[in-house]
Structure 1
């Protein structure tokens, strides 16, 4: 528990510990990151009328060009949107003793509070973040493992996870229609898993030397991120980092590795990272929608020249967490 950044760091005048300083080539540095006027913003309220075809085209174009887009008018009630982020912030602001029972170094724990990455003690450099992670589906089975405090946590997060699941299904159905895949393709085992990851990045004394999250791609199908009102998310495109500006009541959607494979590289799972800042804490909530471990992943049958072999998702996850320099090349068909 004492490893949590939010537990031991309370003096902004203290220098950044050496164990959090990244190698020079991977530091964010002090250069100015351009604001994102290019990450597409898609209005989902227009999917019910004649504009549906245009919205599908926008989603496909964004998934091809960036692997990222933001959605507005997505159907998640504004009050639930606000209450969810408030309860996550309340959780991380609670006294350490109130969170102690959830802290664990065991990555298999159903609901886990931890710091940095998967295994703190084996890391060469630590991430400037604390993380709360738990399953959200099936809800009736998972909810009993969730935090009991703040007292409204379970009620609010349950309602929000239901909305996130509905939104994910809606976006995936639009994607399947755009790709020419049969309706309902992404239902069932392909989108059975729903996991929430709540990241908390305390103010950092030297943001140019460390990272909240390093450059990576998400292993799942799609991710739906509520990034709050503090900037920090960056997407790597054409050799530069693009800042994704927080928009009021918007959600960020990014393409995961499984959707890149199913689309036969028509879509891309973009590399992204989280930077820190010296002034305020940043709290974000990501819903990872993905396959069940035994689900078979392969390019959709509409692609007559598949680039990837068929495999079980659990094989992918084992490679993703254990192979240095992970690459989708490990799953490609080679002529």
Structure 2
């Protein structure tokens, strides 16, 4: 038996483990129907909004101010002129969509319900609950990539090459955003280099098949990212929603070359709560499949995470630590 929220769910052999591997559904199976208070009903959303758009080609002072302002307001933003090439983005979108169109046997060769497996295909959410309308391909990527990709799927043929290229370029953008954030927060520019970003990348290719009734289920539960920074290639189909002023805001993509960016719980800890991690979720679409690619920059598993001295009070202790220091792999649990 599997537990989702307050529900106890039976094992789902009829879904053939992956939603995208089974037949199209004309109704939502009972195991995917959330309790009424957790459903994405129209009353729970205040409409759509465009995230702040930051042009990284503008002056450095303007960009770092915009990043800090976005973090203090909505907590998410989009970046353009970021340096990830358009061919790298389009190739990544194409090869990921192609992966989820593979025959079931090809995808199931990498299926695992072991949440500790670094490379796997699974259904449900990141916590192991299967009752969410999502399939996911997770890839672990060291930097430099080296031999990491040898354990990735070998189909489609170009997946390894394309994903490596996309990962390297996207990490470069993430590290530059962190340097700009450091400047805006008056930290030393290299504060986020080293162990706190030295654990490589996790790439999650999220595939949300069309749902027979998106009002009854979710693609991903409300959650906070547990890393420092996440970059998302969101695709053209909306689905991301961000908690903002007590409402759920549907995020509309501004341009096909934009990357969505959010900071996770680690930044909240490092800044002693000055900047907050923002809750977000994914809703489904009744007509269109949605595929997105999230790149998470991770710390070294054994690194110590805690508030930076720059955000703590002096001898008068006016600003005491709000978070205990913790080893990262303990923090994530």
Query: TM-score with structure 1 length normalisation?
Result: 0.89
Residue 201 (structure 1) aligned with residue 208 (structure 2): yes
Aligned partner (choices 138, 142, 159) of residue 153 of structure 1? 159
SS at match of 2:68: helix
Which residue of structure 1 aligns with residue 147 of structure 2?
Answer: 141
Is 2:47 the counterpart of 1:34? yes
Match of 2:325 in 1: 310
Aligned partners of 1:290 and 1:107: how far apart in 2? Answer: 16
Mean CA deviation greater in 67-76 or 105-114: 105-114
1:28-177 map, 5 Å: 28-31=40-43, 33-37=46-50, 39-46=51-58, 51-118=59-126, 123=129, 126-138=131-143, 139-177=145-183
**Alignment partner of 1:291: what SS?**
coil
Q: Is the aligned partner of 1:23 residue 2:31? A: no
Residue in structure 2 matching 1:243, options 237, 247, 250: 250
Quote the offset at 1:290 in angstroms. Answer: 2.1
Q: Which structure: greater helix fraction?
A: 1
SS at match of 2:249: strand
Supply the distance in 2 between the matched residues of 1:214 and 1:119 (Cα, whole angstroms).
10
- The equivalent residue for 1:9 is 23
Distance 1:174 1:270 in 2: 20
Query: Shift of residue 118 of structure 1?
Result: 4.7
Deviations 1:42-62 (A, max 9, x none): 00111xxxx211111110011
Q: Does 1:185 align with 2:191?
A: yes
CA distance in 2 between partners of 1:208 and 1:18 (Å): 13
Greater CA drift, 136-145 or 162-171: 136-145
Aligned-residue offset at 1:201: 0.2
> 5+ residue gaps in structure 2?
1-14, 314-318
The alpha-carbon distance between structure 1 residues 299 and 41, as it changes in their structure 2 partners (threshold 3 A), is: same
Asked if the contact 1:105/1:119 (under 8 Å) is kept, the reply is no
Contact 1:260 1:267 (8 Å CA) reproduced: yes
Q: Write the deviation string for residues 215-251 of structure 1: whole angstroms up to 9, x where unpaired.
A: 1100100100010000000001111111111122100
SS of residue matched to 1:190: helix
- Cα distance, 1:119 vs. partner? 6.4
Q: Unaligned regions of 5+ residues in structure 1, if any?
A: 319-335
Instruction: Give the distance between the partners of 2:69 and 2:102, measured in 1 at CA.
Output: 43
User: What is the CA RMSD across the aligned residues, in angstroms?
Assistant: 1.4
Task: Say if 1:73 and 1:118 are closer, same or farther in 2 by CA, change over 3 A.
Answer: closer
Q: CA deviation at 1:9?
A: 3.5
- 2:4 matched residue in structure 1: none
> Structure 1 residues 213, 118: CA separation in 2 closer, same or farther (over 3 Å shift)?
closer
